[in-house]
Amino acid sequence: MQLDQASYFLSKIELRCGKAPTMAPWLKRLFIATSYITSDAAEHFSLPRDRTVIMGSHIEV
């Protein structure tokens, strides 16, 4: 297989603020905020956007 024909699969997790008392509210907001400053994996690895599939899910904290 040639690399110029390969497909790439990535996963992305989005954190959401849930109602369960898992941690202090201010800490929960800080934890979620820091998850947004992570770099985009496709950009970091210079993957071609037209051959990259990104699957995501939501997790409540």
pLDDT tens-place string over residues 36-46: 888 788 999 99
Q: Under DSSP, is residue 29 helix (H, G, I), strand (E, B) or coil?
A: helix
Report pLDDT for 1.
62
Alpha-carbon gap, residue 22 to 20, rounded angstroms? 6
Tens-binned pLDDT, residue by residue, of the chain (61 aa): 688 889 999 999 999 998 888 899 999 999 999 988 887 889 999 999 999 999 999 999 9
Alpha-carbon gap, residue 50 to 59, rounded angstroms? 27
Alpha-carbon gap, residue 55 to 38, rounded angstroms? 16
pTM: 0.67
How many other C-beta atoms are found inside a 10 Å radius of the C-beta of residue 21?
A: 8
Task: Return the residue matching tokens 């496709």.
Answer: 42
Report pLDDT for 2.
83
